[in-house]
Chain A
Amino acid sequence: MEGVDVAVWITMVLGGVLTWLLRGAFFVWGRPGDPARPGHGEGMGAWSRLLAFVPVAALSALVVPDLLGSGVTTWFQAGPRLYAGVGAIAVAALTRRTLPTFVAGFLLLWLFS
């Protein structure tokens, strides 16, 4: 058991180091680049403009599969999560606030479940 314990600790630490290396890849290890900030100034490069889309692309890739799951092809096949998610999206678009989005999402999930 002791060997297994040591192995889990070592694997955990190596996993932590790998994750840290990925997260810092572009700013801890990368060369200092153009100090112009995305969204500001005339000198903004194409790369900076492209990076401004990262949050939308990455977060949408996290959200949509959670709502649709796999194998859902029609509205009628969808489950309570999709209905609640669509309602939460509508509330988020209208209010642009976190708390009403949570309340609406959980309320709709409870209703449709």
Chain B
Amino acid sequence: MVKPDGYANWRANWRGFFVGVQALLPLWVGVLPFGVVYGAAAVSAGLGPWQAQAMSAVLFAGSAQFLFAQLWSVGTPPILILGAVLLINLRHLLYSASVAPYLVATPRRWKALLAYWLTDEAYAAAIPHLLAARPGQGPWILAGSGFALWAGWQCATAVGVFLGQSLPTHLPLDFALTLTFIAIVVPMLRHRQQLVVALIAGGVATLLVGLPYKLGLFAGALAGMGAAALGLALARRSPAKDL
């Protein structure tokens, strides 16, 4: 039986959504502990339980939430907190530029929702699948990874807010997030150019780790992109070699 086009599209779109969810779920191992730690830290910093929980829904940006809670607890003026949030999230501009080509035909209200969900982890989980996606599936993959992260993050924050004070403090829960990013980025390194970009970005970010508001991360990423631009210019003369 021939299915109507609408039904086939509907199935393909939801398949894309579940590809995104499936790509994100393994990262829960690293992200959920981080959310629990955030919930506990926010309450310790003096935010009310509802404020700590609402920040996960409104801001939905792990590092910025930690920073917000810390700065608020020491009486930093709101305008400086907003400046810090802006600086710490600057790297999202790069993600925005990176996913833009996959969202050209997407309605603006959809894009607005996808912008809300575009975090480090959701982007990292979705991007390998976007590269292989069929036309039109990109937004659904991003929606799947974004929604899966959002749902897990809200639950983890609630656990941290309500049980945080009774959690053991010696567990290296923050290391889980580092391992998450290792698990994502290492399989991406398939060419010598990518390895060089990774080393330069990581090296510069480490050298500038003392900069406030995690600006070193942004500088490292920009340095890596500069190296990539140089590499692309050189590659016109000789093709990239596989690792």
Interface residues of A, Cβ cutoff 8 Å to B: 5, 7-16, 18-20, 22-28, 30, 32-39, 46, 48-70, 81, 84-85, 88-89, 92-93, 96-99, 101-102, 105-106, 109, 113
Alpha-carbon separation in the docked complex, A96 to B204 (Å): 26
Rank and list the top 9 A-B pairs by shortest CB-CB distance, nearest first: A64-B202, A57-B224, A24-B115, A61-B220, A92-B186, A53-B228, A98-B26, A61-B205, A60-B198
- Contact flags B89-129 to A (C-beta < 8 A → 1, else 0): 11111111111111111101001101110101001100100
Instruction: Spot the interface stretch: B6-14, B59-67, B147-155.
Output: B59-67
Interface residues of B, Cβ cutoff 8 Å to A: 26-27, 29-30, 47-48, 51, 54-55, 58-61, 64, 68, 72, 78, 81-82, 85-86, 89-106, 108, 111-112, 114-116, 118, 120, 123-124, 127, 130-131, 135, 138, 172, 175-189, 193-194, 197-199, 201-206, 209-210, 216-218, 220-225, 228-229, 232
Given contacts A35-B105, A60-B197, A61-B221, contact A12 B55 (CB under 8 A): yes
Are B96's CB and A62's CB within 8 A?
no
Are A102's CB and B102's CB within 8 A?
no
Alpha-carbon separation in the docked complex, A66 to B123 (Å): 20
Are A55's CB and B179's CB within 8 A?
no
Alpha-carbon separation in the docked complex, A12 to B120 (Å): 20
Q: Which chain A residues lie closer than 8 Å to B193 at the CB level?
A: 53
Given contacts A54-B95, A68-B206, A98-B183, contact A109 B101 (CB under 8 A): no
Cβ contact of A35, chosen from B26, B72, B104, B222, cutoff 8 A: B104
Alpha-carbon separation in the docked complex, A37 to B115 (Å): 19
Alpha-carbon separation in the docked complex, A101 to B105 (Å): 37
Closest chain-B Cβ to A51's Cβ sits at a distance in Å of 5
Q: Which chain B residues lie closer than 8 Å to A96 at the CB level?
A: 186-187
Majority secondary structure of chain B interface residues (helix, strand, loop or mixed): helix
Alpha-carbon separation in the docked complex, A5 to B78 (Å): 12
Given contacts A15-B82, A61-B221, A98-B27, contact A66 B178 (CB under 8 A): yes
Alpha-carbon separation in the docked complex, A88 to B176 (Å): 11
Closest to B102 in A: A37
Sample (10) of A-B pairs whose CB atoms are under 8 Å apart: A18-B85, A23-B115, A27-B114, A53-B197, A53-B224, A60-B220, A62-B205, A65-B205, A96-B186, A102-B180
Alpha-carbon separation in the docked complex, A46 to B116 (Å): 28
Closest chain-B Cβ to A36's Cβ sits at a distance in Å of 7
Alpha-carbon separation in the docked complex, A94 to B170 (Å): 30
Closest to A36 in B: B101
Q: Which chain A residues lie closer than 8 Å to B232 at the CB level?
A: 46, 49-50
Closest chain-A Cβ to B34's Cβ sits at a distance in Å of 12
Are B228's CB and A27's CB within 8 A?
no
Closest to B105 in A: A35
Alpha-carbon separation in the docked complex, A8 to B81 (Å): 10
Given contacts A12-B58, A70-B210, contact A54 B182 (CB under 8 A): no
Q: Which chain A residues lie closer than 8 Å to B72 at the CB level?
A: 8, 11
Alpha-carbon separation in the docked complex, A36 to B29 (Å): 35
Closest to B231 in A: A53
Closest to B71 in A: A11
Cβ contact of A15, chosen from B27, B81, B223, cutoff 8 A: B81
Are B124's CB and A23's CB within 8 A?
no
